Amino acid sequence: MFQTNLREIDVDMDVEAVADIIKSHGATAWLTSVGGILANYPSELDFHTINPLLSQRESGDLIQDTLDAANSRDIRLLARMDFSKVHRPIAEAHPEWLYISPNGTWQNHTAELVSVCPSGDWYQERIFDILEEVMTRYPLDGFFINWAGYNERDYFRVYHGVCHCDKCQERWREHAGDAELPDGPWSENYAEWRVWSNGNIDAWTARVRDFISERLPGAGLILGQSSDIMFHESNNAIDRDIWHHATAETVSRLKSHRPEVPVLVNSASFLDHAYRITAENPYHFAQYHLQAIARGANPSTYIIGIPGKIPWPGMNLASEIMDFHRRWKDVYTGLEPVAKTALVYPQSSQRNETEYAFSLSEYQGLYNSLQELHIPFDVVAQERIVAIAESGGLQRYEVLILPDIGELASEDAEVMDEWVAAGGTLVVTGEIGVDVEDALQLHSLPATTRVEFLNDTEDLWSMYFAPEQNRTEEHYYDGPIIPLLGTYSLYEWRENSYGLYRKLDYAPFAPPEYIYGNTQIDERGVGIGPYGNGTGVLVPFPAGRGYREQGLTVFRDFVQLILSEVGASEQLQLEISPQVEVTLQSNGERVVVHLMNMSGIRYQNFGQHVPIPAGRIVITGGGNGVTARSLRSNSTLEIEEGEIRLPGLDLFDVIVIEGLS
């Protein structure tokens, strides 16, 4: 897809020329600005503001002109709608529609725009009038609704708090009774409000989806997790630390929840929302598209305004990937994840801000470890675990990894215990929930109670985990030696469990004359034990966080040791540089392996990558009857003694394997 996010002044768009550009870019769909904040067509609704420059267009209807140009080129046209704000005259006529801060103020924006609230009648009634008008006039192929939510922050990133309009207060009382409506993250009921408000948006999204499908059965809704097409915008920000895998991670979260539902990744061509005519680095922009297709999403290029008016140097690389995706449509249509390992993405509402930062760091370190070890994995959102289990989706995983999650919702814990009992392997790292008597919340783990919990950095100084040692009393050590960082839990282990690595206890670390005496004691680096037909694994410290924050490969290698002991049975083993990210999907009988060159990672973006030497894919059990093809070179690959010989890697490659038993 290609999005033209139109400004007020772009009403003079040469739709024929733009349609040609979109076609040559490799896109088969065009998303353009139709209505909401500004109507780019002659709306007859008195609460729908018409673009004041629309009269300058000869036809007086930009949308009809755009639809004609798209139809003549077999390009599907979708409408971008933004219902998050109204103009001041409408706001003053209908203050009951507006967002109201805890101190009673509005959210005011550029061009006298004012934020509205999803609880009010603008969202609940009037937008359906606008959609009705648009669908009656134009046979569109779909709708995207921008910024649909309870907006606590404005365009300028100023935090205004939770909406306190009359409708919100009324609906909150219906939900929570006498519990106070929170003002913001510091309030007691904020976590519950987040769940409630997200549920409201999900329900509203379902209403919009049904409303559209009744009138235009062939038109899809692009929005949240309950829409016809799930959506993610890939973008950067100057005041946000980058997570280089954000696009792939988000697509995986969406696909693991609803694998049969399409995902659209809209890739922002600009640097930041405050710098929208500065282009993103071309190699970074390409990663948005590449990570999208590697996890089974549909790529989309998103620009501000009309092509040609603002320089977007990333268009060539983006077009190359878009055209590749279009050319191999038969491979990408119906692509679904088939990894046997799942890494759980922590839920922010389950922990306080500091704890969640630790969970996220642990998650990211484990993500990096799995990526560099080329262990295929999916990302599963913590808040979707129950839904995935209910749909049967959890059963396709052999291994589930919980990264320093802390206390779980009781239903999540119950689902995971049942999954382990049925044959799964649950790996828990870092902190996990315990009750008031320190009994572990998860019964499937190989420990019964937590004896001690240390989270003060100084309490962990000069302590380590290492393999079995024989000569520590003589001050000789065998490696690897893993420093104990972050937190540490001492457990009472079950009798039928066993451990790997043991703790090297405290000894002086200064001055140099007295740095000796770390003897090995009987405290495990990891505990492993059976539960029903499955296995519970408990790592008493955050190994992923150690790797994420310190970069020591001993942490990553410790993860590899654990998974070599209890990991999923993989039919394919990848032997290639750690700078290559690997994803595993399937399309019918075909296994589709994406290889992404991540060597261009820089501090805040991606720069130019370097070529990666040839690697290989080892087929467990041999390669009789197996064929493999590189889609980048469109050539058959040599298979010898069960090894697929890979060509050298430029930016990416896609290997299609057939004949695996």
pLDDT digits (tens, 9 = 90+) for 232-271: 999 999 999 999 999 999 999 999 999 999 999 999 999 9
Q: What is the pLDDT of residue 594?
A: 98
With 80 as the cut, is the pLDDT of residue 661 above it?
no
pLDDT digits (tens, 9 = 90+) for 632-653: 999 999 999 999 999 999 999 9
CB neighbours of 127 closer than 8 A, spacing ≥ 6?
36, 81, 83, 208
Residue in the structure block whose two tokens are 């103009």:
87
pLDDT digits (tens, 9 = 90+) for 292-313: 999 999 999 999 999 999 999 9
Give the up-direction half-sphere exposure of residue 538: CA atoms within 13 A in the CB hemisphere.
Answer: 32
CB 13 within 8 A of CB 6: yes
* Cα separation, 635 vs 176, whole angstroms: 61
Q: Which of 566, 583, 617 is the last residue of a domain?
A: 566
Residue 651's CATH number = 2.60.40.1180
- What mean pLDDT is predicted for residues 1-7? 98
Q: How would you label 449-460 residue by residue, b for 16+ Cβ within 10 Å and e otherwise?
A: ebeeebeeeeeb
Q: What is the pLDDT of residue 350?
A: 83
Angle at CA of residue 4, ends 207 and 257, nearest 5° = 40
Q: Which of 566, 601, 621 is the last residue of a domain?
A: 566
Token readout for 98 is: 């507006």
Q: How confident is the model at residue 86 (pLDDT cuts 50, 70, 90)?
A: very high
Whether residue 158 lies inside any domain: the answer is yes
State what percent of residues in the chain have pLDDT above 90.
96
Are 481 and 555 members of one domain? yes
Residue 523 domain boundaries: 341-566
Q: Which of 588, 574, 592 is nearest to 630 (CA)?
A: 592
Whether residue 286 lies inside any domain: the answer is no
Q: What is the pLDDT of residue 349?
A: 81
Q: What is the pLDDT of residue 299?
A: 98
CB 356 within 8 A of CB 185: no
Are 512 and 633 members of one domain? no
Whether residue 426 lies inside any domain: the answer is yes
Whether residue 477 lies inside any domain: the answer is yes
pLDDT digits (tens, 9 = 90+) for 132-182: 999 999 999 999 999 899 999 998 999 999 999 999 999 999 999 999 999
Amino acid found at 375 = I
Are 539 and 589 members of one domain? no
CB-count burial class (<10 Å; 0-12, 13-18, 19+) for 310: middle
Q: Give the residues across from 337 on adjacent strands.
A: 585
Whether residue 131 lies inside any domain: the answer is yes
Long-range contacts of 53-57 (CB under 8 A, 24+ apart): 53/8, 53/9, 53/11, 53/12, 54/11, 56/11, 56/12, 57/11, 57/12
Please state, as a whole number, how many other Cβ atoms lie within 10 Å of the Cβ of residue 108: 13
Element (H, E) at 128: helix 127-137
Residue 444's CATH number = 3.40.50.880
CB neighbours of 17 closer than 8 A, spacing ≥ 6?
none
Are 556 and 585 members of one domain? no
Are 512 and 586 members of one domain? no
Are 521 and 623 members of one domain? no
Q: What is the pLDDT of residue 513?
A: 97
pLDDT digits (tens, 9 = 90+) for 183-222: 999 999 998 999 999 999 999 999 999 999 999 999 999 9
Please state, as a whole number, how many other Cβ atoms lie within 10 Å of the Cβ of residue 305: 17
Token readout for 55 is: 């009269």
Q: What is the pLDDT of residue 361?
A: 98
CB-count burial class (<10 Å; 0-12, 13-18, 19+) for 508: middle
Q: What is the pLDDT of residue 447?
A: 98
Q: Which of 512, 531, 566 is the last residue of a domain?
A: 566
* Cα separation, 553 vs 558, whole angstroms: 8
Q: What's the predicted TM-score (pTM) here?
A: 0.95
φ and ψ of 201, to 5 deg: -70, -40
Q: What is the pLDDT of residue 436?
A: 87
State what percent of residues in the chain have pLDDT above 70.
100
Are 497 and 577 members of one domain? no
Distance of CA 66 to the CA centre of its chain: 33
CB 271 within 8 A of CB 340: no
Are 597 and 641 members of one domain? yes
* Cα separation, 203 vs 628, whole angstroms: 45
CB 403 within 8 A of CB 343: yes
Are 593 and 471 members of one domain? no
- DSSP code per residue over 35-103: ESSSBSS----TTSPBPTTGGGSSSS-HHHHHHHHHHTTT-EEEEEEE-SEEEHHHHHH-GGGB---TT
pLDDT digits (tens, 9 = 90+) for 442-488: 999 999 999 999 999 999 999 999 999 999 989 999 999 999 999 99
Token readout for 278 is: 């500065």
Q: What is the pLDDT of residue 458?
A: 96
CB 515 within 8 A of CB 522: no
* Cα separation, 125 vs 139, whole angstroms: 22
Whether residue 82 lies inside any domain: the answer is yes
Distance of CA 466 to the CA centre of its chain: 34
pLDDT digits (tens, 9 = 90+) for 324-368: 999 999 999 999 999 999 999 999 888 888 999 999 999 999 999
- Rounded-to-10 torsion of CA 209, 109, 95, 127: -20
Are 484 and 602 members of one domain? no
Q: What is the pLDDT of residue 622?
A: 86
Element (H, E) at 497: none
Number of domains in the chain: 3
With 80 as the cut, is the pLDDT of residue 527 above it?
yes
* Cα separation, 337 vs 391, whole angstroms: 15
Q: How confident is the model at residue 623 (pLDDT cuts 50, 70, 90)?
A: confident
CB 223 within 8 A of CB 208: yes
- DSSP code per residue over 269-302: -EEETTEEEEEPPHHHHHHHHHHHHHTTPEEEEE
Amino acid found at 119 = S
Q: What is the pLDDT of residue 565?
A: 97
* Cα separation, 580 vs 559, whole angstroms: 18
Q: What is the pLDDT of residue 529?
A: 98
Are 518 and 579 members of one domain? no
Q: How would you label 268-279 residue by residue, b for 16+ Cβ within 10 Å and e otherwise?
A: bbbbeeeebeeb
* Cα separation, 611 vs 207, whole angstroms: 49
Are 589 and 525 members of one domain? no
pLDDT mean across residues, the chain: 96
Amino acid found at 539 = V
Q: Largest alpha-carbon pair distance within the chain?
A: 91
pLDDT digits (tens, 9 = 90+) for 34-69: 999 999 999 999 999 999 999 999 999 999 999 999
Residue in the structure block whose two tokens are 């041999």:
622
- Work out whether strand 572-575 and strand 447-454 pair parallel, antiparallel, or are unpaired: unpaired
Whether residue 334 lies inside any domain: the answer is no
Whether residue 271 lies inside any domain: the answer is no
CB 40 within 8 A of CB 34: yes
CB neighbours of 290 closer than 8 A, spacing ≥ 6?
321, 596, 651, 652
Distance of CA 612 to the CA centre of its chain: 26
Give the up-direction half-sphere exposure of residue 436: CA atoms within 13 A in the CB hemisphere.
Answer: 0
Distance of CA 237 to the CA centre of its chain: 16
Residue 111's CATH number = 3.20.20.80
